[in-house]
Structure formats: C-alpha cells, structure tokens
Amino acid sequence: MVMLRVERIEVFYGNVQALRNIEFEVNQGEIVTLLGANGAGKSTILRTISGLIRPRKGRIIYLEKEISRMSVEDIVSKGISHVPEGRRIFPGLTVYGNLEVATSSWRKRGASIQDELNNVFRLFPKLRERMNQLGWSLSGGEQQMLAIGRGLMSRPKLLLLDEPSLGLAPKLVQSVFETIKTINAQGTTILLVEQNAYAALQIAHRGYVLENGEVVLHGPARDLAANENVRKAYLGG
Ligand SMILES: Nc1ncnc2c1ncn2[C@@H]1O[C@H](COP(=O)(O)OP(=O)(O)O)[C@@H](O)[C@H]1O
Ligand SMILES: [Mg+2]
C-alpha cells in the first residue's frame, strides 16, 4: 500500500527554485532513502512533507488525503514525525522534558506517556540513565538519540529522518542505523535522508538519488548500491 505519494512538487526559496518536478512514493512498511550531495534538495523535501514549506506546484498525498495545504500540527497528528538535521533538541529541557513535549499531538490531559517512554528507552537505554539531565549536557551521539526518541514520542506512522548519522563517530553511526532498522521492524515506515549513502543503502528497501533538486535515478537499494554512477558519485568508487 502506498503511504506517501509526492506528486510533481516544485518548491522555491524566494525566487530560487530548490525542487523541480519531484515525484516519488513510500509504501507502508518500507525504509526509503533519499541520497544526494549537499544542496541537492533532500532537507527541502522533508520540510515540504512536514508542512514547513508549501510547494508552489504539485501535491503530497498521505494515506489517500492531500496534506500539502495542512498545518504542521495537523500533519504531525496524522502520524508524520520529522527529525530535522542538526539535532534540534531543547538544550534547557531535561531528556524527559524533551520527550514529553513531543506527545502534545495525541495526549489528552493527564494521560500516561509511560508506554512511549519505555519504547524509547528500550531503543536507547542511555537516555533512561540521563533522564533528568539537561539537553545541552548530552554528547552529540546522545543528542541524536534524543532527537530520534522525541520523534517517536508523537506515535508516528511515518518517520522522516534528516541526516541522523551526521557528525557521529563511526561506531555510533553503525548503532544509529541498527536502531533505524529496529524502529522499522516494529512497524514504522521511514523516509531517510543521508549523505552516508553506503550505510543508508544497507538498511533501505528503495532509494532515490537527487541532483540539483531533481530525481535522477531510483530503484531497489541493492540495484543502487551496485550502480556504477552511484558508486562513483556517492560510494567512493
Ligand atoms: N532557507 C533557505 N533559503 C534559501 N535557500 C535555501 C534555504 N534552504 C536551502 N536552500 C537552498 O535550497 C537548495 C536545497 O537545499 P537543501 O534542501 O538544504 O539540500 P540538502 O539537504 O540536500 O543538502 C540549496 O541550493 C540550498 O542552498
Ligand atoms: Mg540537508
């Protein structure tokens, strides 16, 4: 079943066109990766899906409804959660506080968030130990875990991840990708933006390659990993 369908969107920043005729699909249960060099338009696609930017042309269809004119809050409450690039956690809130704020999309007054917390702490046991620490005092890796954990607190059906491995030590990169795979295996569909094409293609089902705001290639992750042009451009030969 198609969960998300991006239909020929055109996106501008002022007069500068960032996305041209972008078209792709994400099926329920998949990990789909968007690959491409810096500036190709990957983050812009995620921002457009989550309602932060409006497409000038085209539509975004999620669970058979058009969402491209909806508010960010309505899109979140329909089950799309966006973990932006650069781990934008709240530095002045505790780990618990950062996780708790993300439940407002579904939480009725006084309702328990224990199930969601337990789920996040099962994936990231370090966060349980750090529960009462302030955001700024966490390491880079812990902040990334918290950013992903916060994304999960809104009970997403579709998780948008923007460069989750950026700036992490190689050992942590591996563990973040393992966790993404686990989150997917537990039933969350994932749209993954990455510059680490090698690692992304290891866990993704399908991928789309972007250049200058256009999709230039797409296919099963296995085929992309074997594609000569992809290997030259993104996998170091
Ligand atoms: N806030 C912004 N204002 C103006 N131009 C932007 C802004 N954000 C991104 N761009 C431009 O849009 C294009 C796509 O950027 P982006 O989506 O961030 O690429 P990626 O995530 O693939 O690195 C780039 O040319 C970038 O310079
Ligand atoms: Mg980006």
The single-letter DSSP state of residue 134 is: B
Question: Which ligand ends up closest to the CA of 18?
Answer: 1
Query: Which atom of ligand 1 sits closest to the CA of residue 210?
Result: 22
Residue 74, helix vs strand vs coil: helix
Q: Which ligand is nearest to the CA of 41?
A: 1
| Segment 108-149, tens digit of pLDDT | 888 899 999 999 999 999 999 999 999 999 999 999 999 999
pLDDT in tens, 172-181: 899 999 999 9
CA separation for the pair 90, 15 (Å, rounded):
32
Ligand 1 atom showing the smallest separation from residue 163 Cα: 21
Domain 1-79+156-167+187-237: which topology?
A: Rossmann fold (3.40.50)
Q: Which of 12, 17, 44 to mutate to test ligand 1, by most ligand atoms within 8 A of the CB atom? A: 44
Query: What share of residues in the chain are helix, strand, coil (percent, to 5)?
Result: 40, 30, 35
- pLDDT, tens digit, for every residue of 180-196? 999 999 999 999 999 88
User: CB under 6 Å to ligand 1: residues?
Assistant: 13, 16, 18, 36, 38-44
- The pLDDT mean for the chain works out to 94
Provide the residue ranges of all domains of the chain, joining segments of one domain with +: 1-79+156-167+187-237
For residue range 20-43, list pLDDT tens digits in order: 999 999 999 999 999 999 999 999
